[in-house]
A = this chain, B = another copy of it.
């Protein structure tokens, strides 16, 4: 099964795994730029002063790590365009460093129908962002609302909030990998 067939709640299965097709290369310049704008901690901005901070050297803002992870989602084959984040339990076990090459791995852990809206379901997943040495920079357990395939809907009613077109979510290099079972 290729990622291009995974677009909707109907297509997702518990145990499915997705991985980013490419790595995100983290630069000192980008770390400092993001920090100056949103999180001006000296540990995120000044490589010299950062030595004396809790980070022990220049490190990305945790929110920057989250933003870069979101970019990796778009390259993982997971149908980002048909889902909306709902609730996240988020941690940054270690700080992201200049030179890191971040990749994302995520696994579907649960799915259920929406109790109130027939055009969607709720999917639970866990994901992790790690660098080239396997050090975890971010871990997350989250639930997302995922829309069902309108073409398979049994009723002629149009959802009040239709999902976005499928095309933008199609990754250049699908990387969906079935998880080992049993």
Contacts and interface: CB of A to CB of B under 8 A. Distances in A.
Interface of A: 34, 37-43, 49, 52-56, 61-64, 66-68, 70-71, 74, 80-81, 84-92, 147, 161-165, 168
A37 to B, nearest CB: 7
Interface residues of A: mostly helix, strand, loop or mixed?
mixed
Given A54-B84, A86-B91, A91-B88, A41 B71 contact: no
A92 B85 contact: yes
**How many identical subunits does the complex contain?**
2
B161 A54 contact: yes
Given A67-B63, A147-B54, A164 B88 contact: no
A41 B163 contact: no
